[in-house]
């Protein structure tokens, strides 16, 4: 899933980025509120991890403006402040979740996974498509009882397609969800990943169809 981290502390941002990349997400980082707004206007983030204390405009304002322009991305607020007020205010403004610094790493990961599931309107950790089971909490994929080893990008592609199984996912959407903007992306990187994924799911897993000129679709059956 494509995640934007808005955090002004460079060291913390580096840590969260490494953590979430290791979990197979495409992660971008910005340090300021205005920058976050301009980046999220063009990139389809599924989740924004938003620090409240930002140097230019605070996280609440960023959130309010995101929601005002109809951005549906899940928002996880991070704050160093203690007050209940902050939590209530954040949730009222349309935040989906809230985490206080210093947080447990496992908790951050679990919340990110939970928010990712909620995005597809389906909060269950497991998606079952035919013979394939995708566990979004553990990142395990099984086809007919056989565990499939996936690389980070392959996992991202599969997660994006599985959440919308039976629907066409455009090439642009998939590209944006799988790669962060500072990932070095070759012109055919997406194709390479889709092809590799396709061969790993074969022969008994669901097929990934290419819809020429449009995008890809994961078969439901």
Partner 1 sequence: MSGGTSRAISLRYRLLLAMFGPLAVLALVLGLLGWVLISDVVRRTNDRVLGGALGAIAETVQVERGEVTLDLPPAAFGMLENSERDNVYYRIAVGGALLTGYADLPAPDPPTLSSEEPRFRFAQFRGQRIRIAEIRRNLPRIDAPVVVQVAETLQNRNSLRDKLMIALLIGECVLVGIVLLLIRPALGWSLRPLSDLRGVIEARDTRAAPDLSPLRTGPLPSELRPLSRSFDRLLARLDDATTGMRRFTADASHQMRTPLSVLKVQVALARRGRSDRERSEALHEIEDATDRLERLLTQLLTLARADEAGELPPDHEIDLKELSQHVISRRIRQAIEAEVELLLECGEGPFRIKGHRTLVFEMLSNLVDNAIRYNRRGGTAQIELFADPGAIRLVVSDTGPGIATDQRELAMSRFVRLQGERGPSGSGLGLAIVRSSAERMGAQLELGDADPGLRVTVTFTVD
Residues that bind partner 1 (CB under 8 A): 8-12, 14-16, 18-19, 22, 31, 53, 55, 80-82, 100-106, 108
- Whichever of 82 and 149 has its CB closer to partner 1, that residue is 82
- Whichever of 10 and 128 has its CB closer to partner 1, that residue is 10
In a 13 Å sphere around the CA of 199, the CA atoms on its Cβ side amount to 6
Residue 104 CB, shortest distance to partner 1, in Å, is 7
Say if residues 37 and 6 touch (Cβ distance below 8 Å): no
Q: What is the dihedral of CA 43, 44, 45, 46, to 10 degrees?
A: 180
Residue 34 CB, shortest distance to partner 1, in Å, is 12
Residue 110 CB, shortest distance to partner 1, in Å, is 13
- 3-state DSSP call for residue 148? strand
Say if residues 60 and 89 touch (Cβ distance below 8 Å): yes
- Whichever of 36 and 132 has its CB closer to partner 1, that residue is 36
168-170 vs 208-211, strand pairing mode? unpaired
Q: How far, CA to CA in Å, does 9 sit from each of 18, 42, 54, 199?
A: 14, 24, 9, 41
CA angle 167, 172, 177 (to 5 degrees): 80
Residue 119 CB, shortest distance to partner 1, in Å, is 23
- Whichever of 104 and 149 has its CB closer to partner 1, that residue is 104
> Residue written as tokens 């890809």?
216
Residue 35 CB, shortest distance to partner 1, in Å, is 11
d(C-alpha 128, C-alpha 136), whole Å: 11
- Whichever of 115 and 161 has its CB closer to partner 1, that residue is 115
């Amino acid at each position: 899933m494509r995640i934007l981290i808005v955090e002004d502390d460079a060291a913390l941002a580096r840590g969260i980025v490494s953590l979430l990349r290791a979990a197979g997400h495409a992660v971008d980082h910005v340090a300021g509120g205005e920058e976050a707004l301009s980046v999220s206007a063009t990139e389809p983030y599924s989740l924004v991890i938003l620090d409240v204390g930002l140097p230019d405009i605070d996280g609440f304002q960023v959130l309010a403006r995101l929601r005002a322009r109809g951005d549906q991305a899940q928002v996880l607020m991070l704050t160093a402040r203690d007050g209940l007020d902050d939590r209530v205010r954040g949730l009222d403004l349309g935040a989906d979740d809230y985490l206080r610094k210093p947080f447990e790493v496992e908790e951050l990961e679990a919340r990110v996974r939970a928010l990712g599931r909620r995005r597809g309107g389906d909060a269950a950790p497991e998606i079952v498509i035919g013979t394939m089971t995708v566990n979004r909490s553990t990142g395990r994929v099984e086809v007919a009882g056989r565990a499939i080893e996936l690389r980070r990008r392959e996992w991202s592609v599969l997660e994006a397609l599985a959440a919308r199984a039976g629907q066409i996912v455009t090439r642009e959407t998939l590209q944006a969800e799988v790669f962060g903007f500072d990932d070095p992306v070759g012109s055919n990187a997406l194709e390479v990943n889709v092809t590799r994924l396709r061969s790993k799911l074969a022969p008994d897993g669901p097929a990934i169809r290419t819809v020429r000129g449009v995008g890809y679709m994961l078969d439901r059956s």
